[in-house]
Amino acid sequence: MSGDRSSRARVHARVHGYVQGVNFRYYTTRTARRLNLTGWVANRRDGTVEAMAEGERLDLDEFVDFLHRGSPAASVKQVDVEWEEPKDEFDGFRVRYL
């Protein structure tokens, strides 16, 4: 990724901790929609939550900040983040079932 913070980007994140069964996906979806991001969020079988989002870099930075906090009942221990080039393949933000 270039250093241009006003450009479009894509973020792929894996959230570790107490993040399932605590409305994490609901709050993630609500946050992403408020920020006009597209993509998805899903529970993984290993107990993590995975998210993929595209949008303006500044909005994605705020989204990643949210992932570090999580929902009110969550206890986030670690967030693995990968920045990528956007692919414009999503038409909204939704919960995905893996």
Annotated catalytic residue within 8, 10, 23, 25 = 25
Residue 53 contacts residue 37 (beta carbons within 8 Å): yes
Strand partners of residue 56: 8
Annotated catalytic residue within 10, 30, 36, 43 = 43
23 is catalytic: no
What is this structure's pTM?
Answer: 0.92
33: which 2 tokens?
A: 């929609």
36 is catalytic: no
* 25 band by pLDDT with thresholds 50, 70 and 90: very high
Q: Which fold has domain 8-95?
A: Alpha-Beta Plaits (3.30.70)
pLDDT digits (tens, 9 = 90+) for 34-90: 999 999 999 999 999 999 999 999 999 999 999 999 999 999 999 999 999 999 999
Quick one: pLDDT at residue 6? 61
